[in-house]
Amino acid sequence: MPRVSVRIELRREHSRHGPAEGPWIRRRWIARTLGPPDPASLACVVDHRGEVRGWGLYGPESELTVRLLTFGSEAPPEGWLEARLAAALRARAALGLERQGTSGVREVNSEGDGLPGLVIDRYGPVRVLQITTAAMAARQGAIVAWLKEHAPGDIFVIHPQSAAEREGFVPEPVIAAGIERLAFAEHGIDFEVPAPPSQKTGAYFDQRENRRRIAELAAGHGGPLLDLGTHVGGFAIHAAAAGVTAVGVDQSAPALALAAANAARNGVAERCAWVRADLFGELDDPQLAGPFGTIVVDPPKIASSPRDLGRALKALRACLARVIPRLADDGFLVICSCSHHLGREHLDQALTGASSALWTRLLALGPGADHPVLPGHVEGEYLRVNVYQRRA
Ligand SMILES: C[S@@+](CC[C@H](N)C(=O)[O-])C[C@H]1O[C@@H](n2cnc3c(N)ncnc32)[C@H](O)[C@@H]1O
């Protein structure tokens, strides 16, 4: 039996909590907590009659007080952490991404792999672990030790400051000495990103399959591609490798410098241009005048809570109103959201609010299979990519 030192009693109105309600137990749903505030302990969640509803990781200072590991009365077995790490890595190996020319992979996707609070992104032989909860921070030593034994390679461990403050833990970062860049391949295209500390773990692997798909569409159309929020050149370089000219826009100068280097690395520098600009601004650089065969709008997370939704929609609508006139008549408009609160229907709304033309949605895309989602965990479904075309 696992060590149990915390018993969490749910309020009567939340007593029926099960898989459909997801893996998070919020502080306001809890009637009583019995046990010390120790994030290393396992929490046993019971209903108002004392019946066990599940077992999970304990965040004494978190609004998400328990992140469930199991539903029902059965406790996670001894060694659950190591067993789930092994299962996640086996599942990634089974995807066969290496055979598709890909060495940048999300190996652990938090709740989606039954490991809430832990992300592991692999860049070739280097792993970047991102820890976002006190419970996972308490297990950092065990995770690193397991990786060293079973998945050799250099390791970084990062903890976003906002998560450490919210969850109440003291980060213990690990920096792999002497590594300043992380190199990886994606469908045969080579990229480098800065080693931590940088954006996220370094790259945005969640868009991998979409970058390839959109490059195919762009090549089919033939017109140039505009990549707003290009980071290190993702959509633009995939399109250029497919024979299309591309312009990438970002507000980060270091990201754009790497985008240019990545284009050169893949022999497509002459088909790419890079513009430093605010994608929510005027976009008045002459290189952005168009017309473009494909326009990708991939902004940062602009709605962290439902309260942000109105402002996010307004900003996205204004950006779309500015770029739609630069899209060729039969071109593709790709609108992305990496905010759980900004759903597909909101992307539709932003588009129809920005343009009274007749639009049709061709594709509704999401992340690749290395970003699994636990059914019931709606917050885990954060990436939506809608592809539209205008009709006469
Ligand atoms: C979600 S990431 C885009 C990922 C990228 N499309 C890819 O495929 O890897 C958002 C990007 O937008 C950039 N960004 C954030 N705010 C911006 C702004 N106001 N204007 C332009 N770029 C911005 C960030 O630097 C980041 O590279």
pLDDT in tens, the chain (392 residues): 446 679 999 999 998 889 999 999 999 999 999 999 999 999 999 999 999 999 999 999 999 999 999 999 999 999 999 999 999 999 999 999 999 999 999 999 999 999 999 999 999 999 999 999 999 999 999 999 999 999 999 999 999 999 999 999 999 998 988 999 999 999 999 999 999 987 678 899 999 999 999 999 999 999 999 999 999 999 999 999 999 999 999 999 999 999 999 999 999 999 999 999 999 999 999 999 989 999 999 999 988 889 999 999 999 999 999 999 999 999 999 999 999 999 999 999 999 999 999 999 999 999 999 999 999 999 999 999 999 999 98
Sign of CA dihedral 82, 85, 89, 94: positive
Q: How far is 83 from 54, CA to CA, in rounded Å?
A: 19
Architecture of domain 204-391: 3-Layer(aba) Sandwich (3.40)
Output the CATH code of domain 4-71: 2.30.130.10
229 lines ligand 1 (CB under 6 A): yes
188 lines ligand 1 (CB under 6 A): no
298 Cα–ligand 1 center, Å:
6
Nearest protein CA to atom 2 of ligand 1, as residue: 300
255 lines ligand 1 (CB under 6 A): yes
Domain ranges for the chain, please list them.
4-71, 80-184, 204-391
Q: Which long-range contacts (CB under 8 A, 24 or more apart) does 89-94 make?
A: 89/150, 89/151, 91/372, 92/122, 92/370
248 lines ligand 1 (CB under 6 A): no
Nearest protein CA to atom 10 of ligand 1, as residue: 300
146 lines ligand 1 (CB under 6 A): no
pLDDT tens digits along 79-118: 999 999 999 999 999 999 999 999 999 999 999 999 999 9
Alpha helices (runs of H) in 77-221, residue ranges in sequence order? 80-94, 134-138, 140-150, 161-167, 208-221
Homologous superfamily (CATH) of 80-184 is: RNA methyltransferase domain (HRMD) like (3.30.750.80)
Q: What are phi and psi of 109, to 5 degrees?
A: -120, 55
Residue 160: predicted pLDDT: 94
